[in-house]
Amino acid sequence: MTENAGSSPEGPLFTENTRDTRIGESSVPNLLQEIVDNKRLNRYEKVKKIIRRTDWPVCHEIRANLWKELCNTKDWSGSKRLYSDEAIEYDRINQGKKQSPQILADEGGVLSNFDLKEVGSVKLIRLLLIIERLRPEIVYAPSIYPLCSLLLHFNDDDGDCFACINYLLNTKGYLMTAPVQWAASSHTILALVKKHKSAAYVLLKRRLGTTDDSVLVKCIEDWLLWLFQYLPLPYICRIVDCYFAEGHKFLIRSAISIVYIWSKVHKRGMEDFRGKSLQEKIDSIKKEFQDVATNISVSTSTFIATAVKIRNLQSATIAKLQAQFEDELRDEVTSRPRQIKKVRRTIFCEAFKSCLVDNDSAVELMSYMPPRLQLVTPTLAYQLSQDGTSFYNFWSKVDPLDQTIIIIKSTCGAIFGAYCSSTWSERHDRKERTRSKYWGTGESYVFRMNKEMELPEIYTWVGNSPDVSSDKCPQYFMSATDKSFVIGSGGRDAIRIDEELTHGITGPSSTFNSPQLCEDGAFDIYELEVFHVTSSD
């Protein structure tokens, strides 16, 4: 029973939390009451079979209740009361103060909120903070963030969402909550691929040119990202349907299925690896797994069937392998200091992907933008190496954008740039430009990368300082012609680009009280990226 996963229903939104997850018409039967009845009679195998075989699309009305019903036990009301009391206390203590849950700072977390609106993102952060407060035994649980996000998509009551997560935490076989468990999980998956999908395991060995499992496992350490970040939403929802009925084992099945599909897609791919180092091969294969998930070549029903058809995959075998690898890795993992990101984690969505700065730096850049803009991931709109060193091409892609992040890498390796709070198309407003050639707002900033810290140093408008009068501060934020643009003037220009995007100058700017952003002042451009920043409204 498969429907077109790409259809966009015109029905009502499931919840106030979501931007565009709507209830639509579907020919797939509901079957919720049949599931509830079988669950009440402890016919769990029957429940599993119904959910595996029924390919509900994202828009199906069952989504409002299915996961909640699968988690509903005698403790449900107590969990909801507990959350209600904690939420009242949380709101009383915090009174609108912005906080970040620990999970946002942990390395390896899946931070896709599947495009929740601001109201949903606020609920998500509160939900995560309350879970951390009530369950201090949770040391590391990267799957909680995407699960909470999905629950809020289909349920307006965050108390229900908490009750679901509380059920998962209290029920064996659902959530792993310690670093050693997650470290061991990749080894467990590799061992199961070796046993159940031996051709894929052999291909992995052949492509890497090694039989060392401790090397092979590095290729699949991002398996949770495959499932919750790279796969399209219809596939994620179907995996989670089965997960709520079967537990962590179904995530294992799904990860093995990605490896199997990868082996079918890349079974003849060897030529690209000639002359590459071992680490380059690992990075290439990790990217292939990401691409296989992002551009999944089978239907949702076929994907679930592929996961289900892994024969003789016993829970006891998974538990035995998991325990074995946890014992082997425990000393290494426990002696390793907990990885905390060196960033002001205040964004509620995935950071943008750049070839010039890493994820931590992208998060830091986003965290300095206005809060209303920290809820939607910026998208790449222009890249010099792909779109050419022509201002005509540049403006054709950049003019329509609301706000932008610009990142520049010089031929000497310096990385710097700016967040520009207004659209560049204002350069066409001739009436305004006769008054002033500059425009923009004090939300703009410029930055340069600190190579020792591996994070950006950010220089905001001097008028934001509490001890100065903003109306007396320079406000030379943005200026442009058809053949140049300037960011942050006053004194000298913080960034000036001209000569068909090949050359620029940077100097101390009084608008941002910033130094010159690269060592030599004048620079030639090696790469330039522009990201479109938009609000969640």
Indicate whether 353 belongs to any domain: no
Let me know whether 417 and 447 are in one domain: yes
Let me know whether 399 and 317 are in one domain: no
- Cα–Cα distance for residue pair 126/100, rounded to 1 Å: 9
The residue out of 107, 139, 170 marking a domain boundary is 170
The residue out of 128, 153, 170 marking a domain boundary is 170
Q: Nearest-CA neighbor of 148 among 132, 137, 139?
A: 132
In contact, 399 and 390? CB cutoff 8 Å: no
Q: Nearest-CA neighbor of 443 among 428, 471, 422?
A: 422
Domain housing 417 = 359-533
- The count of domains in the chain is 3
CA dihedral 198, 200, 201, 206 (to 10 degrees): 120
pLDDT digit of tens for each residue in the chain (537 aa)? 445 444 456 789 999 999 889 999 999 999 999 999 999 999 999 999 999 999 999 999 999 999 999 999 998 999 999 999 998 888 887 766 667 787 776 777 787 888 888 889 889 989 999 999 888 888 889 999 999 999 999 999 999 999 999 999 999 999 999 999 999 999 999 999 999 999 999 999 999 999 999 999 999 999 999 999 999 999 999 999 999 999 999 999 999 999 999 999 988 765 567 778 999 999 999 999 999 999 999 999 999 999 999 989 999 999 999 999 999 998 888 776 555 444 445 566 778 999 999 988 898 899 888 878 887 889 999 999 999 888 999 999 999 999 999 999 999 999 999 999 999 999 888 777 677 789 999 999 999 998 877 889 999 998 887 666 666 788 999 999 999 999 999 889 999 998 789 999 999 999 999 999 998 889 999 999 999 998 766
What's at 523, amino acid-wise? F
List 450's β-bridge partners, or say none: 455
Indicate whether 197 belongs to any domain: yes
What is the CA 500 to chain-centroid distance, rounded? 34
- Cα–Cα distance for residue pair 161/79, rounded to 1 Å: 10
Q: Nearest-CA neighbor of 359 among 14, 108, 37?
A: 108
Let me know whether 265 and 409 are in one domain: no
User: Would you state the structure tokens that stand for residue 520, as one six-digit string?
Assistant: 């030599």
Q: Nearest-CA neighbor of 490 among 430, 450, 427, 444?
A: 444
Indicate whether 22 belongs to any domain: no
